[in-house]
């Protein structure tokens, strides 16, 4: 074959390969964009029906719940339930709370931008992300090392600057105290004293308390004592660790 013809054929082949590559990339991009649009739609539906459609009224909380990609905090096999109206397993017999409960607790905490907030029970990291989205400086503690490490990685990948540690949250985080708010996502049978000590005067503590029958308590520190602001019957996993020896 004359060399000019060979060169022309090679050039044509390269153009065809280039076009196929571009089409594949475009298809993949369209598919990814389509999936993202679908998840955004599901997230907006979740906020409209499960949160605003009930009694969550704080516009900033609703916006944070519209923004944080809850699906990034659940396993691949549960992606289709990421925005469903119930809690989901996250491994190690633990759960990511129902979206409504996350929103209720966040609203009850009355978080403002710049507040220093402690979360006990990192789990998947989702609640911590919602608090960070509201502009809080978040400290979160998880007792199960695998969950704590995985949550810290997820939060970092998503760009949330959260302080996380593995340990027993019933001791609080004394070096970072005092906190404007403390939110607990595992149920002890009584409020751990270090959490009261580490809460600022006027600050709120949102905590499920009880064994078989649990109540989510919204408490405010006034003159060094906790006074009740509200409550809700709930079902949380039990708080484990040292608190269980002190019963
Ligand atoms: N906030 C989490 C989320 O957004 O995915 C859900 C938390 S899950 C309902 C409760 C978590 O509290 C579990 O991951 C559990 O291991 C953790 N936990 C239980 N006792 C604890 C303790 N003493 N200190 C810290 N974490 C604890």
97 is catalytic: yes
Kindly state whether residue 30 falls inside one of the protein's structural domains.
no
Residues 63-92: pLDDT tens digits?
999 999 999 999 999 999 999 999 999 999
**CA 18 to CA 12: how far, in whole Å?**
10
Asked if residue 172 has its Cβ within 6 Å of ligand 1, the reply is: no
Q: How many domains does the chain have?
A: 1
Determine the structural domain holding residue 121 and report its residue range.
59-246
Q: Which of 3, 75, 77, 97 is catalytic?
A: 97
Domain membership flag for residue 118:
yes
In a domain, 43, yes or no: no
Residue 124 lies in a domain: yes
In a domain, 221, yes or no: yes
> What is the mean pLDDT of the segment spanning 128-140?
98
Closest ligand 1 atom to residue 129 Cα is 4
Is residue 49 in a domain? no
204 vs 206: CA distance, rounded Å: 7
Residue 91 located in a structural domain: yes
Q: What is the pTM of this model?
A: 0.88
The count of other CB atoms within 10 Å of the CB of residue 40 is: 13
| pLDDT at 26 (0 to 100) | 63
Residue 155 belongs to domain with CATH number: 3.40.50.150
Flag whether 241 is in a domain. yes
Our mutation pick for probing the ligand 1 site, out of 185, 198, 206, 243, counting the most ligand atoms within 8 A of Cβ, is 185
């Amino acid at each position: 074959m004359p060399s000019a013809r060979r060169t022309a054929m090679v050039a044509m082949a390269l153009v065809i390969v280039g076009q196929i590559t571009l089409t594949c990339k475009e298809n993949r991009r369209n598919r990814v964009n389509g999936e993202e649009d679908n998840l955004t739609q599901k997230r907006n539906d979740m906020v409209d029906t499960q949160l605003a459609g009930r009694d969550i009224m704080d516009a900033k909380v609703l916006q944070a719940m519209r923004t944080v990609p809850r699906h990034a905090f659940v396993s691949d096999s549960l992606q289709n339930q990421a925005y469903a109206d119930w809690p989901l397993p996250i491994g190690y017999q633990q759960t990511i709370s129902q979206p409504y409960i996350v929103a209720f607790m966040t609203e009850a905490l009355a978080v403002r931008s710049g507040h220093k907030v402690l979360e006990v029970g990192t789990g998947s990291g989702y609640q911590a992300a919602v608090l960070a989205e509201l502009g809080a400086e978040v400290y979160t503690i998880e007792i199960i090392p695998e969950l704590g490490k995985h949550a810290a990685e997820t939060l970092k990948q998503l760009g949330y600057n959260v302080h996380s540690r593995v340990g027993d949250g019933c001791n609080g985080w004394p070096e970072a105290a005092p906190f404007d708010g403390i939110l607990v996502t595992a149920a002890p049978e009584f409020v751990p004293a270090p959490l009261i000590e580490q809460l600022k005067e006027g600050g709120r503590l949102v905590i499920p308390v009880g064994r078989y029958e649990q109540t989510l308590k919204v408490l405010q520190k006034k003159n060094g004592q906790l006074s009740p602001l509200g409550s809700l019957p709930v079902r949380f996993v039990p708080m484990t660790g040292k608190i269980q020896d002190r019963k």
